[in-house]
Amino acid sequence: MGELVARFFLGGTLVALFSVVGDLFTPKSFAGLFAAAPSVALATMLLTLHKEGAPFVAIEARSMIVGAVAFTAYASLVAWVLHRRRARPTVVAVAGLAVWGAVAAIGWALFVRPL
Amino acid sequence: MKIKTDTSALRESSWGGHALRFTIGGLVTVAVGLFTKATDAKAGGLMLAIPSIVPLGIALMTRLQNRKAGPRARGDRGRHAAVLEATGASCGTFGLLAFAVVAWQLLLRTPPWIALPAATVAWAAVAAGVWLARKAARSRRQGRV
């Protein structure tokens, strides 16, 4: 239970901190960089290092490469759709998560699972 | 447009929005931990790059900009802000890729207190570099027209 509470507070703090730093910058497209900050990754890695050690976290980081490629596909698609269609931004951003899931799943099956 | 810091945006953003980001960020971090425990490091690692906070950031940004613009704007200002946020995030994902590669390589060779700060610096450098390169390419295209 204590570990979950630590995860919650560390993850929440890092996500909020990166968001606040992002809010400080203009233009807004530069501030958007902070939406892809490694906040959840840092919080998870810091806590996992303590429990499982560096080799375990290195394996996580290697798999994260595929997740990051999926994130690129997701963010590019959301920007592209919103630029060309009069769609509701929140609906596009939530529905686009399926693209992240699909690209991550394909990357997992092709590159991560066989390792 | 030059990169600047502007504290007025902090006054515009609500405490409720920050609290929501804190809560969602905390919950996602817990979920990633539980997923890794239920599977393994290979599967759990994928979740370290989940775009958990992007939909919330876009929703909050759209609401703020639409409120500023008023009903006549029909959501155009909010949509434009969302495009900028998503475009910035797409540049930032290249930084996330650099973070993962540097963390993977350095965690096998150096102590974690070197590996993780170095990976974070790599994220910032690559994300900002891709954003600047994209901006320069766009300026060149507009200059040609």
Could you report the predicted ipTM of this complex, rounded to two decimals? 0.95
- The pLDDT, as a whole number, for residue B145 is 58
- The predicted model gives A43-66 an average pLDDT of 95
Q: How far is A22 from chain B (nearest CA, A)?
A: 9
B48 to A37: CB separation less than 8 angstroms, yes or no? no
| B89–A58 CB contact, under 8 Å | no
**Shortest CA distance from B34: residue in chain A:** A4
Percentage of chain A modeled with pLDDT above 90 = 80
Question: Would the CB atoms of B53 and A39 count as touching at under 8 Å?
Answer: yes
Instruction: Answer whether residue A48 shows pLDDT above 80.
Output: yes
Render pLDDT for B99-109 as a digit per residue (tens, 0 to 9).
Answer: 999 999 999 99
Of the residues A14, A18, A40, A56, the best mutation for testing chain B's interface (the one with the most B CB atoms within 10 Å of its CB) is A40
Average the pLDDT over B70-83 and give the result. Answer: 81
Given a cut of 90, whether residue B123 has pLDDT beyond it is: yes
Cβ separation A70–B49 shorter than 8 A: yes
Q: Angle CA(A50)–CA(A53)–CA(A54) in degrees, nearest 5?
A: 120
- For residue B129, pLDDT beyond 70: yes
Contact A113 B119 (CB under 8 A): no
Give the model confidence (pLDDT) of B19-28 as tens digits. 999 999 999 9
Res A23: pLDDT = 86
The stretch B75-93 carries a mean pLDDT of 90
Mean pLDDT of B40-60: 93
Tell me the pLDDT band of B74, cut-offs 50, 70 and 90.
Answer: low
Higher pLDDT, B14 or A98: A98
B26/A42 Cβ within 8 A? no
Interface test with B, best of A19, A52, A99 (most B CBs within 10 A): A19
Q: What is the model's pLDDT at position B49? A: 96
Q: How confident is the model at residue B3 (pLDDT cuts 50, 70, 90)?
A: confident
pLDDT (0 to 100) of residue A56: 96
pLDDT 10s digits, A64-105: 999 999 999 999 999 999 999 888 999 999 999 999 999 999
Shortest CA gap A61–chain B (Å):
5
For residue A15, the number of C-alpha atoms closer than 13 Å in the C-beta half-sphere is: 32
Q: Which residues, 6+ apart, have CB-to-CB distance to A70 below 8 Å?
A: A99, A100, A101, A102, A103, A104, A107, B46, B49
| Average pLDDT estimate for B42-64 | 91
At residue B65, the pLDDT reads 84
Tell me the shortest Cα–Cα distance from A89 to chain B, in angstroms.
6
DSSP B24-69: HHHHHHHHHHHHHHHS-HHHHHHGGG---SHHHHHHHHHHHHHHHH
Residue of A nearest to B23 (CA): A12
Q: State percent of chain B over pLDDT 70.
A: 93
For residue B141, pLDDT over 90 is answered with: no
> Which of B7-16 are b and which e, b meaning 16 or more Cβ less than 10 Å from the residue's Cβ?
eebeeebeee
Could you tell me which residue, B139 or A37, shows the higher pLDDT?
Answer: A37
Contact A63 B44 (CB under 8 A): yes
In sequence order, the 6+-apart residues with CB closer than 8 A to the CB of B125 are: B95, B98
Is the bond into A89 cis (omega within 30 degrees of 0)?
Answer: no
**Average pLDDT over every residue of B106-120:** 97
Q: Is the pLDDT of residue A57 over 80?
A: yes
Nearest to A35 among B24, B57, B111 (CB): B57
